[in-house]
């Protein structure tokens, strides 16, 4: 009888500490950082780093590792890579996590039978979406109203570290509309601006314009990346196409000097009397007044650097000319 009880106790003890093979899987297809080897770290291996390195035998970027765990245990774990060089930042409100906002880990009650857990997306309880993780964005800028000298426009932004001429643009058909296609991450909100010749010149955008970030000091264009797209052609330093600004070549009613102007612009008007408007490239009037025959001086010291249009109207008609402000 004593021997039978001992055997029963050993059987119960053995079942209580039975080991179960659990296969963990993480899908890295939507991960935008760089990595070499994902790993699983948890309470079962003392968060040891790369001691539970994962493998991807079929090259589909879904990585896995099988670990023997004690059936019935509740364990916490998370995916990381390259000995904690990077780790997922999980949502404490997600159903697969522990709810701890500071140390947010995944939770698993170890099953009695060998189990392969479903493949989940890095930092998610769910599989990766089938939607593409990246998008090809074609940027286009029209340089026809730019009065300075340049060789090659470029796009600089948060996506390339404002690197200078690493995203140089091209004009294959010679129409002075320049373009470049850049691969960006879907879901990212990026800031950017057009410049030329490795920051030799850059556009001065209007912080109140709808395509910009509203920052009066660092005024950049803003784009939310949702899918591959060819952006509308815009005029340098404008949210609009150059054709939307308008260029009229009627009677020559005026001469602008100097151009570029600094603090004072001289409008040499040929009519008896007339009026002028100075507009930015978003069509907003930034200065206006009347004109008499001959030289009329307009104070431009308060106008930001950039491109403007000067419209003059008189008894002979009206005309528009480009004006650059350079302080």
Q: What is the pLDDT of residues 156-215, one digit of tens each?
A: 999 999 999 999 999 999 989 999 999 998 888 999 999 999 999 999 888 888 898 989
Mean per-residue pLDDT over the chain, rounded: 88
What whole-number distance in Å separates Cα of residue 115 and Cα of residue 22?
Answer: 5
Min mean pLDDT across 6-15, 97-106, 223-232, 304-313 is at: 6-15
Three-state SS string over 258-308 comes to CCCECCEEEEEEEEEEEEEEEEECCCCEEEEEEEEEEEEEEECCCCCCEEE
CATH class of the domain defined by 246-325: mainly beta
- Residue 201: Cβ-neighbour burial (10 angstroms; 0-12, 13-18, 19+): middle
pLDDT of 15 strictly over 50: no
Q: Are 90 and 123 in contact (CB under 8 A)?
A: yes
pLDDT, tens digit, 9 for 90 and up, residues 50-70:
999 999 999 999 999 999 999
Pairing of strands 234-235, 134-142: parallel
What whole-number distance in Å separates Cα of residue 55 and Cα of residue 37?
Answer: 7
**According to CATH, where is 2.60.40.3080 located in the chain?**
246-325
Phi, psi angles (nearest 5°) of residue 190:
-115, 150
pLDDT of 299 strictly over 90: yes
Kindly indicate the confidence band of residue 146, based on its pLDDT and cuts at 50, 70 and 90. confident
What whole-number distance in Å separates Cα of residue 299 and Cα of residue 323?
Answer: 13
Kindly indicate the confidence band of residue 5, based on its pLDDT and cuts at 50, 70 and 90. very low
**According to CATH, where is 2.60.40.10 located in the chain?**
2-121, 134-244
pLDDT of 6 strictly over 50: no
CA proximity to 238, closest of 276, 199, 197, 283: 283
Min mean pLDDT across 160-174, 252-266, 294-308, 311-325 is at: 311-325
Domain 134-244 has CATH 2.60.40.10: yes
Q: What residue has token string 């930042």?
A: 89
pLDDT of 250 strictly over 60: no
CATH of domain 2-121: 2.60.40.10
Between 266 and 241, where is the model more confident?
Answer: 266
3-state secondary structure of 226: coil
Sign of the Cα pseudo-torsion (93, 98, 104, 106, in order): negative
Min mean pLDDT across 39-48, 213-222, 227-236, 249-258 is at: 249-258
Q: Are 315 and 139 in contact (CB under 8 A)?
A: no
């Amino acid at each position: 009888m004593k021997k039978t009880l001992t055997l029963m106790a050993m059987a119960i003890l053995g079942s209580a500490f039975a080991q179960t093979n659990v296969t963990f899987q993480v899908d890295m297809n939507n991960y935008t950082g760089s990595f070499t080897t994902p790993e699983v770290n948890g309470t079962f291996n003392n968060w040891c780093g790369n001691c539970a390195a994962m493998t991807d035998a079929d090259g589909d970027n879904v990585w896995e590792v099988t670990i023997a765990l004690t059936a019935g245990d509740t364990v916490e774990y998370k995916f990381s890579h390259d000995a904690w060089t990077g780790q997922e930042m999980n949502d404490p409100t997600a159903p697969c996590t522990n709810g701890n906002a500071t140390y947010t880990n995944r939770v698993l009650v170890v099953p009695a039978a060998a189990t392969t857990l479903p493949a989940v997306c890095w930092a998610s309880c769910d599989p990766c979406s089938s939607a593409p993780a990246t998008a090809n964005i074609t940027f286009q800028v029209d340089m026809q109203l730019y009065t300075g000298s340049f060789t090659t426009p470029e796009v600089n932004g948060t996506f390339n570290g404002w690197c200078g001429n690493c995203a140089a643009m091209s004009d294959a058909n010679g129409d002075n509309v320049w373009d470049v296609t850049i691969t960006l991450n879907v879901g990212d909100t990026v800031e950017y601006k057009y410049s030329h010749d490795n920051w030799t010149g850059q556009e001065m955008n209007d912080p109140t314009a709808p395509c910009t970030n509203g920052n009066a000091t660092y005024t950049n264009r803003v784009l939310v990346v949702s899918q591959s797209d060819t952006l509308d052609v815009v005029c340098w330093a404008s949210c609009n196409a150059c054709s939307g600004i308008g260029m009229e070549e009627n009677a020559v009613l005026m001469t602008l000097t100097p151009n570029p102007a600094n603090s004072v612009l001289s409008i040499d008007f040929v009519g008896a009397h007339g009026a002028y408007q100075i507009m930015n490239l978003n069509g907003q009037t930034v200065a206006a007044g009347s004109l008499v025959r001959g030289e009329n001086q307009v104070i431009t010291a308060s106008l930001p650097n950039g491109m403007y249009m000067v419209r003059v109207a008189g008894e002979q008609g009206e005309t528009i000319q480009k004006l650059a402000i350079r302080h």
